[in-house]
Amino acid sequence: MCLLQPESRSEQRASVMCVTSCAIGLGSNLGDSQRLLDLAIKSLDDHLQIEVIQVAGYYSTKPIGPPQPDYLNSAVTIATSLSPWELLMVLQSIENNSGRERQVHWGARTLDLDLLLYGCWYINTSNLQVPHPYMADRGFVLVPLAEIAGDWWCGEKLVQDLWSVVDRAGVKLECRVDTFRFV
């Protein structure tokens, strides 16, 4: 039986002893993408073992892969007591709740959530690779991420150094986001 009865979510979170700072990439190009990103960030923050720390702006970006609409991309930093694999499952359940269906590889999707960085961990398992294997080559990942985590390490390089050399053409800021609207 739990004898502690925390009064608030922040007290519940304060009881979490071991937290890791992580970066998540978000993307959507089907449906009301701005609302889908808003809801995804709110869902992350609603999880008792996740606290959203910073939210990057929302950027319109050109798609890679088959012909499809432009994307809206962003990134958030979080603190979490979840393991990387538990966090991946949370990301996938938020994707599924957005109505996402996995049909065409690299095809259009209502919501895509990628675990970009989990502390300084390197992970290479069958269902999870961290740092995210393609992030260093993708302007749509690095432009929002550099806004909030430029001084984070991605492997042996800083995010801002990866940002400085990546192709950023077609990545356009659409709106800044007030972090506090999610809490």
Binding residues for ligand AMP (CB under 6 A): 88, 112, 114-115, 127-130, 132
Least Cβ distance, residue 176 to ligand AMP (angstroms)? 25
Closer CB to ligand AMP, 105 or 169, in the complex: 105
Tell me, yes or no, if 109 is annotated catalytic: yes
- Considering beta carbons, is residue 128 or 158 the nearer one to ligand AMP? 128
Length of the chain: 183
| Closer CB to ligand AMP, 10 or 129, in the complex | 129
Residues 122/28, Cβ–Cβ less than 8 Å: no
What are the distances in angstroms from CA 162 to CA 103, 143, 150, 155? 31, 10, 9, 11
CB-side neighbour CA atoms (13 Å) of 109 = 24
Instruction: Tell me if residue 138 is catalytic.
Output: no
CB of 7 to ligand AMP, least distance (A): 35
Among 38, 45, 112, 138, the one annotated catalytic: 112
Q: What's the min distance (Å) between Cβ of 127 and ligand AMP?
A: 4
Q: Which residues pair with 24 in a beta bridge?
A: 76, 115
The catalytic residue among 13, 32, 38, 100 is: 100
Cβ proximity of 26 and 41 under 8 Å: yes
- Report angle CA 24, 107, 71 to the nearest 5 degrees: 55
Provide the annotated active-site residues: 100, 109, 112, 114
